[in-house]
Structures are given as structure tokens and as C-alpha cells.
Amino acid sequence: MPCIIYGNIKYKWLLHSIVQRIYPLIRSMYYIKACPDLSGPPYSHKTSSMKKTCIPILLIFLAYTAQVRAGFNDGILSITNLSRQQVLIEVDGRQYLDCKNALVLRDLTPGYHQVKVYVEKSKAHPFKRATLYNKDVYVRPKYYVDIIINRFGHALTDEQEITDNRFDDDGHEDRNDDQHYERPRPENNGPIADNTFASLIETIKKESFDDSRMTIARSGIDQHFFTAAQAKQVIALFSFENSKLEIAKYLYGRTIDPKNYFIVYSVFTFSKTKEELAEYIRNYR
């Protein structure tokens, strides 16, 4: 389960600065001399009418800052470690010590964010810390940026526009098979290029576990279209029957020749799995 953080530390510093500058201005504009000082002890001589004057103004200001916080154009940044090494994740100078393998930053202000992923110090080398990833990542408005460190310590980066609420509370896509959202369509409606498809297959093959392969496969599927024959090759890369079924369902909506999708059934071992896929295709909208 990933750590989920709303906003980041740069934003908190910005709000702190705004509060420091705006609050004295509000007090002077409305001549609220008896408003409590936020940085000091409460006044002992406050009256009920004074409180009634201060509270609405402060509530309006807090409501405004809350609206800014949940900006319409905010993005999401996800960092996932699939390597066997324990890592330390740092974003914009803040280290997330409790998020060892997965971090999701939601409500992230669009723009460049410095991302660093370190290998944690070992007992053998207590003063040495290797850097797996160190880049300024640009988060576009209303985009989900996904950084994956694979089992070999190599980083894969992908992005996808946030067009609806398909991302659940942990920042990942909702896998409820009964909901078929329309994923963003690539500019070219033809199948994925042969060289790109070969690279995707090799990247998936390098992962040892189905969960890791599923993450990378989904990322590639979202960006391209596939023929039924290509879909069959992707499905065959998975070891377990339930993983094959899951990726087969996910691929169906990105297949340019769905009438030929029957060829993928030969990948499955059990008749029950084939029947479940057939039922899914019949009900697909």
C-alpha cells in the first residue's frame, strides 16, 4: 500500500508565507484591533462582538486557501520501487522516511519537482549512499506522472492525463471490471510500432513477478493500440492464470481488430478463465 501525501512541502511554505502577510492586512483594513494575535497568547479582554467579527473573516480566508490547495489543475506524482533494495525517496528537498517502496503525491502544483531516490545506507557501508534517480520531473496540469524503479535499478517514467475520477484513493487506477472508462486515445489510431512493441516486450520480460509486469504492461497499453496478435504476445508473458485474464481484459479495449481477439484464448489453461473473458467481451461497452 503506497504512502499517500496531499500536496507537498513547498506548498506548505507558500501558505505559511501568505498567512503571515495577509492576516495583518485584514486586521488593519477592518480595524479589528482586538483580534487575537496568531503568534501570541489570546487577549483576556475580547468581547463576544469582537469574536463574531474576527471569525467570519478568518473563515473566508481559510476557505480561499483550501480552494487553492485543491486546485483544478493539480497533478499526481507516483514513485514505485520494484527493486530488491531499500530506498529513500526525496521530493523537493523533503525526505519521506516512512515510504520505502511506494509514494503517491496528490494535489501537486504543476511545474518542475526535484525527485531523488537513494539506496539506503547499509551496515557494511554506513557512509555511502548510491543514487538511483535524480531528475527534475515536470508535472503538467491535470496529469498523472508515474516513475517506476525496476528490479535492476533502472527508472521508467510515464504520464497520463487525468480526465475523470478513475484513480482511486491510493493513486492507482480503479480495476473494477464493471466500469469501462474511455482511456485517452493516442494521436495515431494504428497499432504500436514494431520496434516500440519489441522494447515493451523486453521491458516486461525483465521483471520476475507478475505484479511488476502488470504495472509496466498497463503503462504501455495506455499509450498505444494493439493488434489481437500483439495482445496475445503480451498476455503470454504472465505466469498465473488470473494475471493473464486481468491483462487480457485490459487489452481488449485497446485492440484495433477485436473480431480477431478469439486468438488469445489459446494462451489460457482453464476453460473457466476462457468463459470469464468471453463474458467480459460480450458485456463490454
How do residues 247-272 score in pLDDT, each as one tens digit? 999 999 999 999 999 999 999 999 99
Q: Please compute the mean of the pLDDT values over residues 84-94 and round it to a whole number.
A: 88
Domain spans of the chain, in order of start: 8-69, 72-161, 194-283
Q: Which CATH architecture has domain 72-161?
A: Sandwich (2.60)
Q: Please compute the mean of the pLDDT values over residues 154-173 and round it to a whole number.
A: 64
Is the CB of residue 132 less than 8 Å from the CB of residue 118? yes
**Per-residue confidence (pLDDT) for residue 25, from 0 to 100:** 60
Confidence band, pLDDT 50/70/90 cuts, at residue 274:
very high
Helix (H, G, I), strand (E, B) or coil at 173: strand
Spacing of C-alpha 231 from chain mean position: 25
The larger pLDDT score, comparing residue 35 to residue 26, is at 26
Is the CB of residue 34 less than 8 Å from the CB of residue 46? yes
pTM: 0.47
Is the CB of residue 20 less than 8 Å from the CB of residue 37? no
Strands (DSSP E) contained in 84-233 are 87-91, 94-96, 102-108, 111-119, 131-139, 143-149, 155-161
179 pLDDT higher than 80: no
Residue labelled with grid coordinates 486546485: 71
The larger pLDDT score, comparing residue 85 to residue 93, is at 93
Mean pLDDT for all residues in the chain? 76
232 pLDDT higher than 90: yes
β-strand partners of 143: 161
How do residues 190-219 score in pLDDT, each as one tens digit? 899 999 999 999 999 988 888 889 999 998
